[in-house]
Amino acid sequence: MNEQVKNDLKKYLGQKVDLYNQPSFIKDDPISIPHLFTKKQDIEIAGFFAAIFSWGNRTTIINKSKELMQLMDNAPYEFCLNGDLNRLKRLLEFKHRTFNATDLLYFIEFLNFHYSNNESLESAFTKGMNKKDENVENGLRGFYDYFFSLPDIPERTRKHIASPEKNSSCKRLNMFLRWMVRRDDKGVDFGIWKNISPSQLICPVDVHVARVATALNLIQRQPVDWQMALELTAYLRTLDKADPVKYDFALFGTGVMENKTQIK
């Protein structure tokens, strides 16, 4: 790709970032769920569940996430820390696609365990990381191991947390990290985590982002997997080394917002 083409592409993607990285983006996106809250821990937990639920129709994702927040009395941090048996019983009928009450109860058990010893969920993602790491790969690997370090793990629940070790694109976790880590003055991403740099983020990749990235010749790889996520992010770093994942707004917006409201 020659420099003129690259400069034109950077300008085009930058315009798309400006178009979608706006408060108006929030209401129809799963990021609207953590935006319901102001306490840091509530933002983290609400964002985590909204990201984990993010496959399928966006309206359904948002509605199911709101349903869960209501079951948690719209105070997810207090709910997870409390662990009251009677309140947990109300979760037994919850289901979103293949995510069911068994999975939910383990997630809450983990969050109870983690927040009983940590102020923020960020430390769960930095356990395996070094500040000098090029990207969050070691953080995602470490999070998977830590998340499933409690006794009596339901084997079925493992499918809901991705890991680079399994060559997953880790789209949902990378999206969650974008929400928590990226910081600018646009009001969409939160930027409340400080121990992971925006430059270390990996672009969330799904079939829609992959389609747009392929059409723009940003990537050559075909399977939507971890290697594709690395390849795409490596290219985006040539456009903005400090904040490559801001271009997720452009790729996602072009692939989904301008076509169908689906998240794969």
Tell me how far CA of residue 76 lies from CA of 27, 82, 169, 248, 250, in angstroms. 20, 10, 28, 28, 31
What is the residue extent of each domain of the chain?
3-263
Whose CA is closest to 200, among 167, 170, 230?
230
The model's pTM is: 0.95
Provide the residue-wise pLDDT of the chain in tens; the chain has 264 residues.
678 888 899 999 999 999 999 999 999 999 999 999 999 999 999 999 999 999 888 999 999 999 999 999 999 999 999 878 888 999 999 999 999 999 999 999 999 999 999 999 999 999 999 989 999 999 999 999 999 999 999 999 999 999 999 999 999 999 999 999 999 999 999 999 999 999 999 999 999 999 999 999 999 999 999 999 999 999 999 999 999 999 999 999 887 766 643 434
What pLDDT is recorded for position 258?
63
What pLDDT is recorded for position 2?
77
What pLDDT is recorded for position 88?
93
What pLDDT is recorded for position 20?
96
